[in-house]
Chain A
Amino acid sequence: MTNLPTIALGDARVGFRGRILALDMSRAPGTGLPSEELERRLLELGFVEGATVELLHQGLFGADPIAIRVAASTIALRRREAMAIVVTEETSS
């Protein structure tokens, strides 16, 4: 593995492909949910370390919300919550 920089999924642009490195709730303050609850909800929708992600679509205003391909499902969420998902870019194929 190369040492590509890590970014928050909430900062990624359409077309971004990568892999989840960690869930870090401290990066997504003020989501309206306690951090433990936010983490569980992200996990329940399949955002687990090691899963592949791809940013497929974004909304018109503020490029928000975003549609993320995670493994084999597509999940819509807001960038505010996606800030908690730490990813690294993968350029394979």
Chain B
Amino acid sequence: MNASSELAPTVALVGNPNCGKTALFNTLTGSRQKVANYPGVTVEKKIGRLATPAGHAVQLVDLPGTYSLRARSPDEEITRDAVLGRLEGEGAPDLIVCVGDAANLRLALRLVLELKHVGRPVMLALNMMDIARRRGIEVDVARLSIELGVPVVSSVAVRRGGTEALLGELDRVLAHLPPPTTADWQPPDAAALRGAQRDADRILRLAVRAPDRRDEGTKRADSILLHPVLGLVILLAILFVMFQAVFAWAKPLMEAISTGFTWLGAAVGELPLPALLKSFLKDGLIAGVGSVIVFLPQIIILFFFILVLEDLGYMARAAFLMDRIMGGAGLHGRAFIPLLSSFACAIPGIMATRVIDDRRDRLTTILVAPLMTCSARIPVYTLIISAFIPDREVWGVLGLQGLVMFGLYAAGIAGALTVSFVVKRLFWRGSIGEPFMLEMPDYKLPQAKSLLFGVWSRALAFLQRAGTTILAMMILIWLLASFPQPPDGATGPAITYSLAAMIGHAIEPLTAPLGFNWQINVALIPGMAAREVAVGALGTIYSIDAGEGAAEKIGQALVGQWSLATALALLAWYVFAPQCASTLAVIRRETGGWQWMAITFGYMLLLAYLAAFATYQIASALGAA
């Protein structure tokens, strides 16, 4: 579109959660939409353009779902401020379209009554009209419009032509936009809410005839899916499949990406360029970006599952089933999925915490998500375990190596639960936390288009992050590992002359109680880029050429250089250490500041130090030194 569309009237979509608002937005704007962030907060700002049948250009804004303008979460604050025109640099919308689920209008009608107080024209779109009709619900649209005092149209977001009535009404309303009146909206108190809901109930009785029975499919599904025992079993089964998919389906893609970047790096290595530039491109840029992009398949698969479950209406059920179990550790029921995602990678896990409304509950979840054993720790664990832990059986059936691996996972989970428990008791003492209250929508089949948009926008968000903050961190780490350059005639590996090596030597007195020598310290620095990079770095330091069987050779070298106590201490360190710049960058972004990133870094470093210290000292005392 052209510059004059800046003057296009703004129409805001407001509605209860689960009213199908986003599907309607996607249908109306198609691909002419973009997702940005509101300044200072991590709430997504979704704007799209559409043209009405009469040719009006309209700027459509999809606002976060809410039951009332009385904001309780950062998302809902955005809705309130956008509707009232309080957002910096943005005026109030020219028209508010309240979207309501035609089969569940009760709470939507109260919202319409509240929206009438903001001083802007309001209309009501009865969404998912097809489903309502099928369930025998009859809506007298004309009567509803008279009683509410606003235009009412029906829409079916998911069917072609289902939005014609809505678009036509947009034209009529926009052609004769009444001048804005003064807003007399005040946060409603209990009496006002009660009065408005009674009014809404009265209108509902006048204009809507609904059979007094629940959606049969939802009723039947919930009798199984919300069964106290069976429901939990099914939830675990779903999670198992999801987990399996994230690891197994993503693997070939990840290997392809990894091979691609290795090939690219090698190709750059062949170019006639100065050695330093070549190293920057190959080891800094390509290896750095590659080590992040490699997680893209996992992120896409994970978000695909999360969005399918969300669109189905199952996510609220999962939170219901897990609420009590998570609550024991001071976590909200909704923290369950983000923490689970963190076993693949903490980055999508932290991004998924957006489903938690309460800020404190969300921060606790973000704080402990990096303690879940992510897939990047596996190469490090595998290297050390296969080199140092004898491959023998315990009690006849269990392999000792597998047992140690399981122990490391368990240590991460126990750490996360303990930290969240302590945070809740220590820092947010006295606050019992957000009550668990949420609507469980009727089950609906997810729409392919909505899923596609959702996965696409998340993948894009991840790539943008990989291209900016994460890339900057990678370059910094490369600089540390590359400068100063080795003197002429140097024999050792280049990294041993670098700033990273100097830091490694300098902090040796600090890490000596952990049994870490300076070589380990050095490997931990590029390991900040991504945990598994430490394996390659150890190879470099101990002068082992990369290639076939490299990991095995590194393992053999380590056995000669390290004591068992050192190896165990390094494992303990890796369970807790904030060894991932990308995760820290995402925490900074998602929490909107450095503070929570610093807190996460600090407490994880402390835990890692204490764990490695205790492990080394105890193991040494037991004669493993």
Residues of A in contact with B (beta carbons under 8 Å apart): 30-33, 36, 38-46, 48-51, 56-62, 64-65, 67, 69, 71-78, 80-81
Do A59 and B228 touch across chains, with their CB atoms under 8 A apart? Answer: yes
Instruction: Determine how close the nearest CB of chain A comes to the CB of B31; give it in whole angstroms.
Output: 33
Residues of B in contact with A (beta carbons under 8 Å apart): 67-68, 70, 72, 103-104, 106-107, 110, 188-190, 193-194, 197-198, 201, 210, 214, 222, 226-229, 232, 316, 319-321, 323-325, 333, 431-441
Chain B contacts of A30 at CB under 8 A? 432
Do B435 and A33 touch across chains, with their CB atoms under 8 A apart? Answer: yes
CA distance A7 to B252 in the complex (A): 59
CA distance A75 to B110 in the complex (A): 17
Chain A contacts of B226 at CB under 8 A? 56-57, 67
- A-B pairs with CB below 8 Å: how many? 118
List 24 contacting pairs A-B, 8 Å CB cutoff, sorted by A.
A30-B432, A32-B431, A32-B435, A40-B68, A40-B188, A43-B194, A45-B67, A45-B107, A46-B197, A49-B194, A57-B320, A58-B228, A59-B323, A59-B324, A60-B321, A61-B325, A64-B323, A65-B320, A67-B226, A71-B201, A73-B104, A76-B316, A76-B319, A78-B323
Say whether, besides A62-B324, A64-B324, A73-B104, A40 and B190 are in contact (CB < 8 Å).
yes
Chain B contacts of A62 at CB under 8 A? 324
Closest A residue by C-beta to B67 = A44
Do B324 and A76 touch across chains, with their CB atoms under 8 A apart? Answer: no
CA distance A31 to B434 in the complex (A): 8
Instruction: Determine how close the nearest CB of chain B comes to the CB of A61; give it in whole angstroms.
Output: 4
Chain B contacts of A42 at CB under 8 A? 437
CA distance A41 to B162 in the complex (A): 34
CA distance A89 to B222 in the complex (A): 23
Do B106 and A74 touch across chains, with their CB atoms under 8 A apart? Answer: no
Do A73 and B106 touch across chains, with their CB atoms under 8 A apart? Answer: yes
CA distance A14 to B333 in the complex (A): 21
Do B435 and A31 touch across chains, with their CB atoms under 8 A apart? Answer: yes
Instruction: Determine how close the nearest CB of chain B comes to the CB of A50; give it in whole angstroms.
Output: 8
Chain B contacts of A43 at CB under 8 A? 190, 193-194, 197
- Additional A-B contacts beyond A31-B432, A32-B435, A40-B190 (4; CB < 8 A): A40-B188, A45-B439, A67-B226, A77-B435
Do A57 and B222 touch across chains, with their CB atoms under 8 A apart? Answer: yes
CA distance A59 to B440 in the complex (A): 14
Do A76 and B189 touch across chains, with their CB atoms under 8 A apart? Answer: no
